[in-house]
Chain A
């Protein structure tokens, strides 16, 4: 810990954290992990556009904002804000400024799921922590995962016991309540064999202003379990949102995900899905709806590590005004992953002449008996469709909005929580209702 940290932005972050952190006496698995991550940060630096994975996403403006880690503050009246909680479920986990708030959270009475904070996890079920925590979110090469691991507030661990089907969605709400702070939420989900659950992850800010969210989520979907994951990012248009999600899908397990990037000045979501057992399946969909000077960057990596796995992906971007959409999706088929069936489609809609889209769908295939296909399109609304609608009496603006709405609707339709789906539909309508 004595050598100098090379990157001055990282140095500032670490210094301000050290001032705040209380000295650690007991060395638990978690503390050790923090130490290792801190050590690792010394040899890492903030990525620039010279790094291939960050070529189109310039985060240099983050350098001038070395936000200190937010300290948790109670947040009264959150439940009274409309459109924050979901109608369907009382089962919710609320993070305020990166800190898990058990007081604001509520869990299903039937005890079908176990939720505990990471410090509790270390105290009572250290074996789970050691077996799962930090195993998927590798911080060796990823500075943001390293920062999260080193600076995370106390995270939360959710365990769905074997064979349990959770009836209501689990709503995980990440709230940033102030500006000029950085939050590091952390979540670990384990679906034991045969479990079935729907998880809604939602990121919101309660003000207009700059802040940084650096979130890490790890999910283990064990044999024959099924997880439906909906991720909604609607932070303020000044916010920086950087998230890493890693999912391990075991044998015959199923992972469905829909991620929506609506807010943030710069958002970056790295999603890594490992199909680690035979017959594992995943459906990975996404929609970025951006305007103004927003930048939404989605990187997905689907790793077919075993035979007979299936993956489907549909990612769409609707880019208006001077916004900039980025998509990079890699499908890897490892040697011996025979009978792989992978399909990826990326469709992008540019709505203004200043809008910009960079897309990079990639296939890396090392096995021969596979079905793999990918496609990407960038274009604008179809003139024939516009003409059709106008011939039916719609104004040009109405026709455009309707078509834009329909373009995004394909992804929204895959959201299986009705109230959330309705809210998202209204959001898109509001965004497209211009002029």
Chain B
């Protein structure tokens, strides 16, 4: 591996670790009293407290999973504070007060002006654009009957909807971290698209006005009724800092007949320094239930941050003719670890699923694809196609593939293929011949490698993600 390439991939993380929250923090530790405290602070109905307690009791009986291909020191769950009411962050008076380093990042990523301000923590009311954009969005959504708010707000305003759907896709006792989340979740988003409504715009968490800080245990619930469709964006390309090391979120999607949910994630959390110190543990349970006939659930993710990414956005294809899709790019550098993939559970007849996963490892990082395709005996004529490719940059990283294929129906067609490649000297030479420098060449090769996934992202996200990837792996040539 050439020195140039080594240099390219080993560029340091460009920002310090800055967080400044004053919060009303509950004592450390987890017990039933803390859960009651969370529930009462949030003024929750009795059934939700019961839901949390049930999850907590199940969690107590569970053991931390150890099958994943990631290594981290044991987490002390009693050393975490499970409730902190975030006070609004100190507002900056104008863009001039924002860290110039952060502004340069926005510039590089091409984040639109009004979003930059919101992301940098500038008080919304001093930015004309942002106010108008957010207000117009809210009005537009309300007009067609779409509910889009924080989950705490939804519990107060639409308790019957929450009660009907919460925990139906990811039950409280589903797995260790989902149980923990169900017991202590404090924040998250709720989105409801009524029958026949096509959401007029991409919904994005950073237009949800009351979000200052995302919680450590986020809970997202999206419901698309018959014939509805929505495209939801989570996260953003700008680097995100957080003092909470463990993040255990749960995302549930429900698609009824003919509904269509597209869920895109760009994750760029703090990944630790180049020696692997610090960084976020991102242990997430994401699952979509394609409940109705002809429904469709599509996951797209670009995972570039976090010290450990461990998640498997899944689809349960219960409705006849339902479709599940999973498109993923996972980039790991330095000591990052990623164990990610998907589960496609085919239950209904004529269900189809597509999996495209691209892993890029550099430095001393490890990335794994782990996927399950299960064809139940009832899934007549089910069809799956999986492709997972890995690219290795440098000789000290690892790429792993663990697909599980379980077929119990003879009319199913299941295909899986995987390959591994590297950026070769000859490829760089070819670019050099045509006057393209190593840095740009690497970026072009990587973007070509990830093209199939980026095509699935909403347009402006795709542009940003492309830049993010080069940014993540770039350095100065010389």
Interface residues of A (CB under 8 A from B): 52, 56, 335-336, 338, 348, 350-380
Contact = CB atoms under 8 A, between A and B. Distances in A.
Contacts of B395: 335-336, 338, 367-369
Among B401, B410, B412, B413, chain A packs the most CB atoms within 10 A around the CB of B410
B441 to A, nearest CB: 17
Given A338-B395, A358-B405, A373 B377 contact: no
18 contacts: A335-B396, A350-B407, A351-B410, A353-B377, A356-B407, A358-B405, A360-B404, A361-B416, A362-B401, A365-B420, A368-B397, A370-B392, A370-B422, A371-B421, A376-B405, A377-B414, A377-B415, A378-B405
Interface residues of B, number: 36
B419 A373 contact: yes
Contacts of A374: 401, 416-418
B422 A380 contact: no
Contacts of B375: 378
Contacts of B390: 363, 365
Contact of B416 (A371, A377, A380): A377
Contacts of A52: 67
Rank and list the top 3 A-B pairs by shortest CB-CB distance, nearest first: A368-B392, A350-B410, A375-B417
Given A362-B402, A363-B401, A352 B410 contact: yes
A302 to B, nearest CB: 14
B78 interface: no
A357 B405 CA distance: 8
Contacts of B136: none
Nearest to B374: A358
A335 B366 CA distance: 12
B394 interface: yes
A372 B391 CA distance: 11
A320 to B, nearest CB: 9
B114 interface: no
B331 interface: no
A353 B378 CA distance: 10
Given A363-B418, A368-B1, A355 B392 contact: no
Nearest to B375: A378
B67 to A, nearest CB: 7
B408 A356 contact: yes
A350 B67 CA distance: 30
Nearest to B421: A371
B63 to A, nearest CB: 12
Contacts of A56: 406
Contacts of A370: 392, 420, 422
Contacts of A376: 403, 405, 414-417
Nearest to B385: A377
B393 interface: yes
Contacts of A380: 410-411, 413
A56 B374 CA distance: 13
B14 to A, nearest CB: 25
Given A363-B399, A365-B420, A357 B407 contact: yes
Nearest to B387: A375
B173 interface: no
A44 to B, nearest CB: 19
B420 A372 contact: yes
Nearest to B405: A359
Nearest to A355: B410
Interface in B405-441: 405-422
B398 A378 contact: no
Nearest to A380: B410
B398 A365 contact: yes
A293 to B, nearest CB: 15
B2 to A, nearest CB: 12
B334 to A, nearest CB: 15
B240 interface: no
A372 B390 CA distance: 10
Contacts of B401: 361-364, 374
Contact of A371 (B397, B403, B410, B420): B420
Contacts of B400: 362-365
A370 B395 CA distance: 10
B415 A375 contact: yes
A290 to B, nearest CB: 14
A294 B396 CA distance: 43
Nearest to B389: A373
Nearest to A344: B418
Contact of B406 (A358, A365, A366, A377): A358
Nearest to A368: B392
Contacts of B422: 368-370
A363 B397 CA distance: 14
Contacts of A371: 420-421
A378 B414 contact: yes
A378 B352 CA distance: 14
A65 B1 CA distance: 57
B403 A360 contact: yes
Contacts of B411: 353, 380
Nearest to B396: A335
Nearest to B415: A377
Nearest to B411: A380
Contacts of B396: 335
Given A350-B407, A358-B405, A366 B398 contact: yes
Nearest to A372: B420
Contacts of B398: 364-366
A351 B409 CA distance: 9
A358 B410 contact: no
A423 B206 CA distance: 69
Among A336, A351, A357, A370, chain B packs the most CB atoms within 10 A around the CB of A357
A374 B416 CA distance: 8
Contact of A372 (B408, B410, B415, B419): B419
Contacts of A357: 405-407
